[in-house]
Structure formats: C-alpha cells, structure tokens
C-alpha cells in the first residue's frame, strides 16, 4: 500500500496518507494543499508467530534437538 508521511506547510501538522496515482493530498486539520512528503522508514517485515513443533511424528530421521526422537 502506498502510505506516505506528510507535513503541512501552513499549520505544521504531521500526518500519514494513503495515496494513489492522481490523488490530491490535503492536510486533515486545516485542509491546506501545501504539504510536503517526508522521508519515512519502511514497515518492518512480518515475523511468524506460529510456534515451532516440539515433537516430531515423522518416521524419518530426527528433525533436530527439539525432536522427541533425538538421541543425546
């Protein structure tokens, strides 16, 4: 999604706006069109929240130290 940070030149309000080609960006506080796009950091990548399995039910070789069939 094209989300950008802006700063209003008239009232100095900082805001984010979802902008598509041809969209007009206006300040949500004073409705001024004199806004400047700011440099912003990209969003961090999504981290998997699914826990890793602790016991393997496979008939193959052990899958690692957390596997219930791992031999010490």
pLDDT at 65: 67
What token pair was written down for 40? Answer: 């912003």
Residues 32-55 as b/e (b if ≥16 CB within 10 A, e otherwise) read eeebeeeeeeeeeeeeeeeeeeee
pLDDT at 57: 62
Tokens 């969003």 appear where?
Answer: 43
The ranges of the chain with pLDDT < 70 are 1, 48-72
Q: Are 25 and 13 within 8 A, CB to CB?
A: no
d(CA 46, CA 41): 15
């Amino acid at each position: 999604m094209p989300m950008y940070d802006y700063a209003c030149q008239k009232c100095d309000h900082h805001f984010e706006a979802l902008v598509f080609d041809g969209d007009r960006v206006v300040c949500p506080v004073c409705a001024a069109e004199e806004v400047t796009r700011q440099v912003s950091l990209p969003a961090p990548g999504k981290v998997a929240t699914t826990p890793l399995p602790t016991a393997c039910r496979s008939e193959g070789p052990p899958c690692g130290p957390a596997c219930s069939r791992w031999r010490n």
